[in-house]
Amino acid sequence: MAKKAVLIGINYPGTAVELRGCVNDVRRMQKCLIELYGFANKDITILIDTDKSCIQPTGKNIHDELTRLIASGQSGDFLVFHYSGHGTRIPPGIGELGDSTGFDECITPCDMNLIKDHDFREMVSHVKEGCQLTIISDSCHSGGLIEEVKEQIGESHVKPINEVKEQIDESHVKPPKLGIASYLLSIVMNLLATCGISKSQRDRGGGQESFSGEIELASDYETFDIKTRYLPFESYVSLLKQQTGQTNIESRRIRQTLLKLFGEDSSPIHQRGLSDLGNFDVNAGDSGAPGSIADKGILLSGCQTDQRSEDVYVTRTGKAYGAFSDAIQTILSTPRKEKKKITNKEVVSEARVLLKKRGFSQRPGLYCHDRYVNKPFIC
């Protein structure tokens, strides 16, 4: 039995969307895996952007390391992939099939070479039978990060892709059953969502602003500053222009642009052709495991598909961390009356309670096959 992990922390230093806690999340998870779960340091691969001597968390490197992690796993092994950084989501382009949420949820590597939910879905399809992969994503829009995985805890209501296709097919022949006012409102809401702005984000002002308040930590209160790990789509496009020097990037053709800019290092889905998205074989993979991708992989998300995860900086101590990552660490370090190992369901449920108590609106989610719900967290 082997235990291996890939940990990603991206602070985006020197950019307008710089974060403080992502690399710290990685260091804490590394320590947690070694001290609580028996991982060997040599079996933990770290990608961070604050130390040039480390593997840089570019799109290609993240994709390659996760692919390598999955390929190395055998029956009885435990694999962990932890990501802390910005999340974004991109709307479907012209003539493209959107997924069950209407967008592609993505993580944002340091070079802006997005890794999308379709990419995660394909990589997870290769998890071998009897091998367990746990993915923890402390990023915005992380609820839909792996397509086809059953939503066990959450309000994103992710649906199988075949149901989405049926709904789209029906919409081509049936007019929307909405009043004109509701119909116009839905258009405005979709336009705002295209820019990555959900209702909760509009209520708070949206964008990259920091804001202050008090948060209950243990038995005391601390003053803190928060910066969201939410990267609006238009902000992402602006960063992509800055990093590549390309000023004529069209938002509606972002997939074609990424393929042109990153070539073989871009999303494999882009390389195979955008028209293949709607025909993706959810039973693909070489594991021989029965059923679909829903049987493979466990996702613990920091929030729902339309929510943002928060990056916290405690002003008195100077500590910085992701709210969801810190909640997990707090839960795991709290002595339990029972010696029984904490389950995936318990971690997410308790994280929801703790985050709400601390004043955060983000609601973590659990996505996995039924058999993993009450399995021990990680191993």
**Among 22, 32, 63, 86, which one carries the catalytic annotation?**
86
**Among 140, 303, 368, 379, which one carries the catalytic annotation?**
140
Of the candidates 120, 132, 126, the one whose C-alpha atom is nearest the C-alpha of residue 378 is: 132
* 86 is known as an active-site residue: yes
CA distances from 149 to 31, 152, 161, 291, 348 (A): 28, 9, 10, 12, 16
* 140 is known as an active-site residue: yes
Strand partners, 153: 366
Of the candidates 367, 305, 309, the one whose C-alpha atom is nearest the C-alpha of residue 139 is: 309
Instruction: State how far the Cα of 122 lies from the Cα of 285, in Å rounded to an integer.
Output: 8
Q: Is 171 left (phi over 0), alpha (psi -120 to 50) or beta?
A: alpha
State the Cα torsion 117-108-85-295 to the nearest 10°. Answer: 10
Instruction: State how far the Cα of 220 lies from the Cα of 223, in Å rounded to an integer.
Output: 10
User: Among all chains, which residue has been given the structure tokens 């679909």?
Assistant: 292
CA distances from 235 to 86, 144, 257 (A): 11, 20, 16
Give the DSSP H/E element, type plus range, for residue 142. Answer: none
Decide: helix, strand or coil at residue 158: coil
**Distance between the two ends of the chain, CA-based, in angstroms?**
11
Count CB atoms within 10 A of the CB of residue 167: 11
Residue type present at position 190:
N
Of the candidates 138, 144, 140, 98, the one whose C-alpha atom is nearest the C-alpha of residue 121 is: 144
Who's near 336: CB < 8 A, 6+ residues apart? 342
Question: 208: buried, middle or exposed (CB in 10 Å: 19+, 13-18, 0-12)?
Answer: middle
Instruction: State how far the Cα of 379 lies from the Cα of 342, in Å rounded to an integer.
Output: 10
The catalytic site residues sit at 86, 140
